Structure 1
Amino acid sequence: MINSKASYLEYLEKDRLRLGIKKHKPLFLNPFEIDLEIWEFQKALRKCEYFYNIDNNSIMWRIKKFFAARNFKRLSCKLGFTIPTNCFGPGLRILHRGTIVINGQCEIGENCTLNACVNIGTQAGYIDKVPKIGNNVYIGPGAKLFGDIYIADGCAIGANAVVNKSFTEPNSVIVGIPAVKKGSLDRDLHIN
């Protein structure tokens, strides 16, 4: 969780590296490069986390917090993301625009990769039964994860998988409806 200026900068740098964004590359130089729009969203996400996690009641802080939240909401609507603050560890990588819905109670580790149309949510009828996801997890397009489940480090969840039970073995390949383990990985998923 971002709780200082140093941790804020650390999260930003890890996110930037995971997205493969070059430093100081302005958006207007190539308006069709989608990674830059996603990078703008992720910077807004981390800035909101910074302003909301630090307890400061000064007028200037509250003004900055307001404008950070406003920018974050604008980019969320533009890109189709419903991603609340404080869910993801550093190194988040969103690959595409499109509907991504994450429950605000989820805990997702470092170096998570998300594709379009991913939904990570609660079990029907409960507000606190949400997934906990380890580090270096890849979540394919259209995957749905819900309920009080745990996904181990290094797992890859296939396209359109419906995951409603825990997978505690690291580096598992998870596919299907309902999801089952189909194999194992012998490499780290966080390497680009």
Structure 2
Amino acid sequence: MKLKEYIAADRMDHYPVISKGYLMDWLLKTEQYWLRKFIKALRCEEYYEFHHPNKFLNYFYKRKKNIIGRKLGFFIPAGCFDTGLKIYHYGSIIINPKARIGQDCTIHGNCCIGSKGTFPDDSPIIGNGVDIGQGAQILGGITIADGVKIGAGSIVTKSITEPHVTVVGIPARIVSKS
């Protein structure tokens, strides 16, 4: 897979380089501009670490990702998300390096996906097509099934094994099935 194809696999909206939208986005430095730059740096880091190893380019893009991530409030290590990632808002997105998130995941701001701090490290495994709402937390060595929608402000501490359901609350519980 080529780098351009790897970056294009994410669901972030990209303007053609010679377009009014690209120019306005670049001049105004909008929220989506910085989100796209972060995702591109993350994917370039992953590409040069896992698919086409190159220590210099890997270091360059890791550094670039961390600088942009510091502005946005993100800590997202390479290799956690599969393709199709969509981030809607910036602000405190913390992902445990051992967490694994499937394809076409949507994540909103102020989210935490991590361990409970127990030994051995217990990090979540999240399926494909999961939508994680604003301020949601997914903690511990749990599994989230495909197509689950996690409501804003929810704290998920137990596995959700039923696919295509909506969970909300503290602790999160199933409220509807699609």
TM-score (norm 1): 0.84
Aligned to 1:125: 118
Aligned to 1:168: 161
CA, structure 1 residues 7+177, in 2 after alignment: closer, same or farther (shift >3 Å)? farther
Structure 2 unaligned spans of 5+: none
- What fraction of aligned residue pairs are identical, expressed as a percent? 38
Over the aligned positions, Cα root-mean-square deviation in angstroms equals: 1.6
Counterpart mapping for 1:82-121 below 5 A: 82-121=75-114
Q: Deviations over 1:117-148 (max 9, x none)?
A: 10000122235311100011000011010111
Counterpart mapping for 1:19-98 below 5 A: 19-24=12-17, 25-26=22-23, 27-31=25-29, 33-54=30-51, 56=53, 61-98=54-91
Q: 7, 12, 16: which is aligned to 1:12?
A: 7
Q: 151, 166, 175: which is aligned to 1:158?
A: 151
Q: CA deviation at 1:53?
A: 1.7
CA, structure 1 residues 177+72, in 2 after alignment: closer, same or farther (shift >3 Å)? same
Whether the aligned pair in 2 keeps the contact of 1:21 and 1:35 (CA below 8 Å) is: no
Q: Could you tell me how far apart the structure 2 residues matched to 1:127 and 1:88 are? A: 22
Whether the aligned pair in 1 keeps the contact of 2:154 and 2:169 (CA below 8 Å) is: yes
Q: Could you tell me how far apart the structure 1 residues matched to 2:55 and 2:158 are? A: 41
Q: Could you tell me how far apart the structure 2 residues matched to 1:159 and 1:11 are? A: 30
- Which residue identity is paired with 1:30? L
Name the count of aligned residue pairs.
173
- Which residue identity is paired with 1:71? K
Match of 2:39, SS state, is helix
- Which residue identity is paired with 1:86? G
Whether the aligned pair in 2 keeps the contact of 1:156 and 1:174 (CA below 8 Å) is: yes
CA, structure 1 residues 111+55, in 2 after alignment: closer, same or farther (shift >3 Å)? closer
Q: Could you tell me how far apart the structure 2 residues matched to 1:47 and 1:148 are? A: 28
Structure 1 unaligned spans of 5+: 1-5, 186-192
